[in-house]
Amino acid sequence: MSGETNLARLLRSMTPQLNPGQYVFCCVPVEHDCSALQPIASLREAEGLSLVLTRESADAHGLHYDYVAAWITLQVHSSLAAVGLTASFSAALAQTGISCNVVAGFHHDHLFVPSERAEKALYTLRALSAASMPEPA
């Protein structure tokens, strides 16, 4: 399996990067033609097709949303079998009162946090990474 599985190495090297723009979660019927929407991510649920879109795309297509997010990508290539990474960063964000919606890609974890809390989330994630650095010998 590709990607890092060691939690200490994952935390030390997660390197959070803020992607430009604002992102929203929408739900459309499963049969909806999504080709013009260019979703960042999609997931089929019993209630319909959940989409992560740019806010501009959702607005242009008249789609309803109620959560505007910033998108942070953890630049470390984490294994899909890694244990503890999501728990570690979500606990750190929770301690500062920041909600986090996570989408795992093949190579990276993608965090969607409230747009207005993006800088605080980056600070929190960087602090978690720094705290995971080994002590100098």
User: Is residue 17 in some structural domain?
Assistant: yes
User: Is residue 95 in some structural domain?
Assistant: yes
pTM to 2 decimals?
0.92
Nearest CA to 89 among 79, 102, 75? 102
User: Is residue 52 in some structural domain?
Assistant: yes
Question: pLDDT digit string (tens) for 125-137?
Answer: 999 999 987 756 5
Q: Where are the beta strands (DSSP E) in the chain?
A: 16-28, 41-45, 48-54, 68-74, 101-104, 109-114
Query: pLDDT tens digits, the chain, 137 residues: what are they?
Result: 688 998 999 999 999 999 999 999 999 999 998 989 999 999 999 999 999 999 999 999 999 999 999 999 999 999 999 999 999 999 999 999 999 999 999 999 999 999 999 999 999 999 999 998 775 65
User: Is residue 66 in some structural domain?
Assistant: yes
Q: How many domains does the chain have?
A: 1
Enclosing H/E stretch for 34: none
CATH of the domain at 105: 3.30.2130.10
User: Is residue 137 in some structural domain?
Assistant: no
Range of the domain at 17: 7-130
∠ Cα 26 114 15 (to 5°): 110
User: Is residue 68 in some structural domain?
Assistant: yes
User: Is residue 98 in some structural domain?
Assistant: yes
